[in-house]
A = this chain, B = another copy of it.
């Protein structure tokens, strides 16, 4: 029996799936943080090209993928769908477990799926340089890769402490030609203001976002690029779910449950949205977003208007949030440490179309170890959340004696995250209690939006 289900390159999707026309009800407006009025395209033009602004609000269900983008996707897409025979055996489950492996991209995660088109649309708009922020470096390295392919410059504001603690992804960005600037930096007003008052500040994702947005807004030839949360970013990731549908059909299956980890939301959206589309057509497929208990946006947050960033410079969106100044504990799944959530994913959860689940990091690494020992692949700490949830579904199927088809997203490999495994193996990995008090305090500072 085959382990991998592969598709030929001509089956790389030719269109992205835009879920907006299929959403349960209209989208809430996005609010300008200065005027507290709905954002207009003109508000966004200093930092995004018009093509991406149009995608952000488009009601067209299918949007063509440019040939130049598909040609680069060919370097690793279609990504393989695996049947987890060995994991099933290890669990003794009657469930069929499939996983879609996005760690095969050159950057090792799903992030290039959107980095490539974002760079391309900017290039088409005459933009010469992209600025962005990165924490652990997954997004920064993906955008560096994308800019490299289109001959664009790339400036990555990398949280200063990560530059030291995670030097490898910094090197990958440099290898692909990006300029990596430890943030806070002397390059921006935002950075200078912080350093003037605190020269030893080690940075945060919020500060790095402020620097990257300022850089883009103050340079005509430069735009800003975001790796998750936004509608068009979620849409670019739908190549994952479209391929997975074709592949699981080849295996003669359809999933009862689709599981993906959820930080800003684009990884979950990428795998799940094409299946959510099937629900309208009567398919009974559950979609489960998995997050860490230490940053439980979907499971413990509120559905409300909130700022996208701590500095209150990013637009205000209707989403699940823990409050814009909630700072989660320093877990190893850095990609899941966001106080908010994709507005699309949030609205789907609020409408009961999807489910959410949270796990502690020790529970996730326990699952990751079993996965690595049965399937071989070392998963990223973020992906381990989906693995854990998939294992629990498979164990439940065993207890109930039910056949069931489980599909989960392996968003990336973990070969650059071995420090986290060291911590787990040595018993040094901390589990954080749900920080109820901190979240309650933070939620008191939500913006007051009245439309």
Contact B9 A418 (CB under 8 A): no
CA of A14 to CA of B47, assembled, Å: 56
Q: Which residue of B lies closest to A376 (CB)?
A: B106
Cα separation A172 to B425 with both chains bound (whole Å): 11
Contact indicator B378/A418 (Cβ below 8 Å): no
A378 touching B175 in the complex, CB below 8 Å, given contacts A104-B104, A148-B373, A168-B418: yes
Question: How many copies of the chain does the oligomer comprise?
Answer: 2
- Quick one: CB contact mask for A270-293 with B, threshold 8 Å, 1 for yes? 000000000000000000000000
Q: Is the CB of B6 within 8 A of A8?
A: yes
- Quick check: is A177 within 8 A (CB to CB) of the other chain? yes
- A314–chain B nearest beta-carbon distance, Å: 30
* B contact residues around A373 at 8 Å (CB): 148, 175-177
0/1 interface trace, chain A 118-143, chain B, CB 8 Å (1 if under): 00000000000000000000000000
Assembly CA distance A41 to B157 (angstroms) = 61
CB-CB nearest in chain B for A82: B75
In the complex formed, the residue of B with least CB distance to A413 is B415
Whether B171 and A74, one on each chain, are in contact in the complex, defined by CB atoms closer than 8 angstroms, is: no
- Whether the pair A108, B415 counts as a contact (CB closer than 8 A) is yes
Chain B nearest Cβ from A141, distance in angstroms: 10
Alpha-carbon gap, A149 to B376, bound state (A): 8
Residues of B within 8 A of A149 (CB): 376
List chain A positions with a Cβ less than 8 A from chain B: 2-4, 6, 8-9, 71, 74-76, 104-106, 108, 145, 148-149, 167-168, 171-172, 174-177, 369, 372-373, 375-378, 415-416, 418-419, 421-422, 425
Q: Given that A106-B377, A425-B175 are known contacts, is A418 also in contact with B167, CB under 8 Å in the complex?
A: yes
| Chain B residues with CB under 8 A of A145 | 376
How far apart are the CA atoms of A421 and B177 in the complex, in Å?
A: 12
Q: Does the CB pair B6–A168 fall under 8 Å?
A: no
Complex CA–CA separation, A206 to B3 (angstroms): 39
27 contacts between A and B (CB under 8 A): A2-B8, A2-B9, A3-B75, A4-B74, A75-B376, A105-B376, A106-B376, A145-B376, A148-B373, A149-B376, A167-B422, A168-B416, A168-B418, A171-B419, A171-B421, A171-B425, A172-B378, A172-B415, A172-B418, A174-B421, A174-B422, A174-B425, A175-B373, A175-B378, A175-B418, A175-B421, A415-B416
